[in-house]
Amino acid sequence: MSVYVTRSGHHLPGPAVDNERIEEVLGRVNGKPSRLKARILKANGIRRRHYAIDAEHRTTIGNAEMAARAGEQCLAAAGLGRRDLGLLSVATSQGDLVLPGFGSQVQAALGLGDVELHTSHGICSSSMMALKTAFLSLAAGEHRRALVVASELASRLFKACRFEAAGAEPDFDAEFLRWMLSDGAGALLLEAAPRGRCLRIDWIRGYSHADAYPLCMSVGQAPDGRTWQDFATYAEAEAAGALLLRQDVRLLDNIVKLGVDGLLRLIDEGRVAVDEVDHLLCHYSSHHFRGRIAEMLTQAGAMIPEEKWYTNLYERGNTGCASLFIMLDEFLRTREPRPGERILCMVPESGRFNTAYMQLTVVDA
């Protein structure tokens, strides 16, 4: 049975924040301007992003509520009600609560009754895991419709007080992601029958390398290796830096190599024909990686011309697992893909290195 993405939606909280105003919102650590901000922003190329906190560090909208707003927009576009869904599949890196699962919180925020529920927990590629669960469920005939939502609220980890609580001035690995990540949610409606012009999901495939590479991006582990739950109190864990989001930048270039390697495997398997790809939607987290991806694809003889690439990174920011869904929604709103065109999606994750891929074909009902 074929499965189709028939509608999409997204929600970005508050007004866009440009590079000059980032520290007005996130705050200066110990009252000092960052020495690293300009360098990281130059590399990532992001000009504007959205935060779900204000300059007083108050949360303006919760993660589950952002997810619900994206889902509501998606359902409204389809003219569907809350009783028309069989499955709700959601993804996030961190919910508003440690427990219960994020899916339960989003279901409550949406007011959905009597649905099957799935929560995918991870980093960037968790959205693709949630999407594949829904895709397989519909393909197996278990449901006719599923709502898939990915949402991220990273800014609460980047408030100046978080770094001040850890004592010393933040090191590069701890501060790096402060200038990379922002907030937002995206939603996709999956149906077992096409609706107007829509996208048929041809396949979804992922490759994880957690067995072969060390931890690259994490929150919950102190520099000495202890996890946040190993400390006597949460205050001690925070003081030791165990609650800071860290990126081991020395390992980060592996994300490009592994992402390209995975694409070459898909080409060898016959899933991807480079000359038949009409649009590439790749969630690269920084402009720095765009050039590296193009270089490696060219060297491998598998380059997809850059005029076929689409991204909204520079104006919407890096919203983690929500990035691809937001990107796909804006792509469909601003472009007019024609029936028969193929869209290749790629989502690399640096947590412990996992990359997910998807091919879509534009169809008319």
Asked if 226 contacts 242 with a C-beta cutoff of 8 angstroms, the reply is yes
pLDDT at 170: 85
Angle at 326 between CA 363 and CA 248, to 5 degrees: 125
Asked if 241 contacts 223 with a C-beta cutoff of 8 angstroms, the reply is yes
User: Which of 214, 201, 283 has the alpha carbon at shortest distance from 252?
Assistant: 214
pLDDT at 293: 94
pLDDT at 3: 98
Q: Which residues of 339-359 are buried (b: 16+ CB within 10 A; e: fewer)?
A: eebbbbbbbbbbbbbbbbbbb
pLDDT at 167: 83
Pair of tokens at residue 89? 């599949």
Distance CA(86)–CA(81), nearest Å, equals 12
pLDDT per position in the chain (365 positions), as tens?
A: 899 999 999 999 999 999 999 999 999 999 999 999 999 999 999 999 999 999 999 999 999 999 999 999 999 999 998 889 999 999 999 999 999 999 999 999 999 999 999 999 999 999 999 999 999 999 999 999 999 999 999 999 999 999 999 987 888 999 999 999 999 999 999 999 999 999 999 999 999 999 999 999 999 999 999 999 999 999 999 999 999 999 999 999 999 999 999 999 999 999 999 999 999 999 999 999 999 999 999 999 999 999 999 999 999 999 999 999 999 999 999 999 999 999 999 999 999 999 999 999 999 98
According to DSSP, the residues that pair with 8 across neighbouring strands are 188
